[in-house]
């Protein structure tokens, strides 16, 4: 069996070599010529898999080690009898932890009490569910909008197995202090998410700011928007135009339209800007590899054997927790989060894209993803609690850290 894989899928050779010969290629460079003898194609989000790529190739199975699938023409695959699997939920915890870390940094920068904030979640899938679970444990008010799930729940009791007691309209979510997007990219139809944030929506935000005028606007922030879903969920050009005139809005972007050729003017206007790495924890990426490997074993009727790294016991990474005299718990935890997940360094590195010439900017963006450091989810860390107060412990437990009593 011949397998062609994106070189950025972790452990792909080690995991899939038992099925056949594995050839790794940069994801954006995979072409039909690479697939002329391939039975299996393994990708991440940067490879467009469609008729143009697969026509007249022997590919029988496509695996995408990602949650999203807007880069896959699933209808064409089905019509042509090509099996397909992705990795739903594989990096959901990683993305939720990115959002939490970003929010802590935002509240610290603008001197906001996180527990006084209302957070709106758009999209109640795997990531939205993980994030809401953490926010509920932190006792933060959450609003959730998901038209598709809301429609599916109509006629049923007002609850769901995902833990969402009720959904609100999108207009209600826009009233939240912080709005974070966790939707797939759907371009057409009743549940389209393409340019969910557009000129019309931004004008509604302007109406809110006019009702509550800003004073000393340079130091004020009335609202924060976070996008870790897909770049096309936000009209980047409209957002840039809006930000240049409205200092009351702050933005954190991990995903961009036209990646890797991102709008650097928009980047310059973001509170935090990162190179599509929200889900790039080692745990999430390895989970994605295993999920598409298991699906391949099922399709080819091969016995699934868990890779060795799945069977190994994870030794917790011990961290020292320090809290300054009279320091609020959220500030102390924020410092810990930035040690575990140095998101400010990710932001700094992306902004260096402006030191590249025009032709190299896209290559630089991709290199940040390809050479991303090993990042572990919070559950991999063990923290001694002797310097913790009860509020510290409550927050750390809510975020999923292991605690040493």
Domain boundaries, the chain: 2-86+281-311, 92-273, 317-404
What is the pLDDT at residue 169? 95
- Whether the Cβ atoms of residue 65 and residue 285 lie closer than 8 Å to each other: yes
Percent of the chain's residues with pLDDT above 70: 93
User: What's residue 219's pLDDT?
Assistant: 47
Q: Cβ distance 401 to 318 under 8 Å?
A: no
pLDDT of residue 150: 87
**pLDDT one-digit tens code per residue, 58-106:** 999 999 999 988 999 999 999 999 999 999 999 999 999 999 999 999 9
Q: CB-side exposure of 233: number of CA atoms within 13 Å? A: 22
User: With bands split at pLDDT 50, 70 and 90, how would you rate the model's confidence at 194?
Assistant: very high
Report, as residue numbers or ranges, the catalytic residues. 230, 259, 276
- Across 252-277, average pLDDT: 97
Of the two residues 266 and 205, the one the predictor is more confident about is 266
DSSP class of 313: P
Instruction: Write the DSSP symbol of residue 394.
Output: H
Is-contact 27 46, C-beta < 8 A?
Answer: yes
pLDDT at 220: 63
**Percentage above 90 pLDDT, the chain:** 81
Looking at 3.40.30.10, 3.30.420.270, 3.30.1370.170, 3.40.50.170, the CATH number of the domain 317-404 comes to 3.30.1370.170
Segment among 72-81, 208-217, 307-316 with least mean pLDDT = 208-217
Name the average pLDDT for the chain.
Answer: 92
- pLDDT over 50 (residue 333): yes
Is the separation of the CB atoms in 272 and 343 below 8 Å?
yes
Grade residue 164 by pLDDT with cuts at 50, 70 and 90: low
Task: Yes or no: say if 182 and 131 are a contact pair by the CB < 8 Å rule.
Answer: yes
Span 52-60, average pLDDT: 97
Banded model confidence at residue 370, pLDDT cuts 50, 70, 90:
very high
pLDDT of residue 387: 82
Specify the range with the lowest mean pLDDT, choosing from 50-54, 162-166, 224-228, 382-386.
162-166
Q: How confident is the model at residue 214 (pLDDT cuts 50, 70, 90)?
A: very low
Closest Cα to residue 366, out of 275, 284, 274, 272? 275
* Band of pLDDT at residue 152, cut at 50, 70 and 90: confident
CATH class of 2-86+281-311: alpha beta
Q: Which CATH number does 92-273 carry?
A: 3.40.50.720
Which one is predicted more confidently, 271 or 324?
271
User: Would you state the pLDDT for residue 324?
Assistant: 83
- Same topology, domains 2-86+281-311 and 317-404? Answer is no
* CA 249 distance to own-chain centroid: 21
The band of 349, judged by pLDDT with boundaries at 50, 70 and 90, is very high
Which stretch of DSSP H or E encloses residue 251?
strand 249-253
**Ranges 49-53, 303-307, 314-318, 333-337: which has the least confidence:** 314-318
Q: Looking up tokens 């290559």, which residue turns up?
A: 363
**Which whole number is the average pLDDT over 352-371?**
95
* Angle (nearest 5°) at CA 232 between 223 and 361: 95
**What is the rounded average pLDDT of the residues 250-273?**
97
- Measured CA to CA, the distance from residue 148 to residue 159 in angstroms comes to 15
pLDDT at 188 over 60: yes
Residue 278, pLDDT above cutoff 70 = yes
pLDDT higher than 90, residue 154? no
What band does 254 get if pLDDT is binned at 50, 70 and 90? very high
Report the C-alpha gap between 379 and 166 in whole angstroms. Answer: 29
């Amino acid at each position: 069996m011949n397998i062609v894989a994106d070189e950025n899928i972790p452990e792909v050779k080690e995991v899939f070599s038992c099925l056949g010969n594995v050839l790794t290629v940069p994801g954006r460079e995979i072409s039909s010529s690479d697939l002329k003898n391939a039975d299996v194609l393994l990708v991440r989000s940067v490879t467009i898999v469609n008729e143009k790529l697969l026509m007249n190739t022997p590919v029988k199975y496509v695996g995408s080690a990602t949650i999203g699938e807007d880069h896959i023409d699933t209808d064409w695959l089905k019509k042509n009898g090509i099996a397909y699997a992705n990795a739903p939920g594989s990096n959901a915890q990683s993305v939720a932890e990115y959002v939490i870390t970003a929010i802590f940094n935002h509240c610290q920068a603008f001197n906001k009490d996180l527990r006084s904030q209302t957070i709106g979640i758009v999209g109640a899938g795997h990531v939205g569910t993980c994030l809401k679970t953490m926010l509920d444990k932190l006792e933060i008010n959450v609003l959730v909008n998901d038209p598709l799930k809301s429609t599916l729940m109509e006629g049923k009791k007002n609850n769901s197995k995902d833990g969402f007691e009720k959904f609100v309209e999108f207009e209600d979510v826009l009233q939240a202090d912080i709005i974070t997007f966790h939707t797939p990219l759907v371009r057409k139809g009743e549940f389209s998410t393409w340019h969910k944030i557009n000129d019309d929506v931004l004008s509604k935000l302007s109406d809110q700011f006019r009702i509550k005028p800003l004073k000393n606007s340079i130091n004020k922030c009335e609202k924060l928007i976070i996008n870790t879903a897909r770049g096309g969920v936000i009209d980047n050009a409209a957002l840039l135009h809006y930000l240049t005139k409205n200092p009351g809005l702050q933005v954190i972007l991990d995903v961009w339209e036209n990646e890797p050729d991102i709008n650097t003017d928009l980047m310059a206007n973001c509170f935090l800007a990162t190179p599509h790495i929200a889900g790039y924890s080692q745990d999430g990426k390895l989970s994605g590899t295993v999920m598409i490997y298991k699906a391949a074993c099922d399709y080819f009727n091969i016995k699934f054997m868990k890779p060795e790294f799945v069977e190994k016991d994870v030794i917790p990474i011990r961290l020292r927790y320090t809290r300054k005299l009279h320091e609020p718990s959220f500030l102390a935890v924020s410092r810990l989060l930035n040690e575990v997940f140095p998101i400010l360094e990710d932001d700094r590195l992306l902004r260096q894209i402006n030191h590249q010439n025009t032709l190299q900017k896209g290559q630089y963006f991709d290199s940040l993803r390809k050479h991303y450091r090993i990042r572990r989810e919070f559950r991999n860390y063990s923290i001694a609690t002797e310097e913790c107060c009860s509020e510290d412990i409550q927050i750390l437990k809510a975020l999923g850290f292991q605690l040493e009593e």
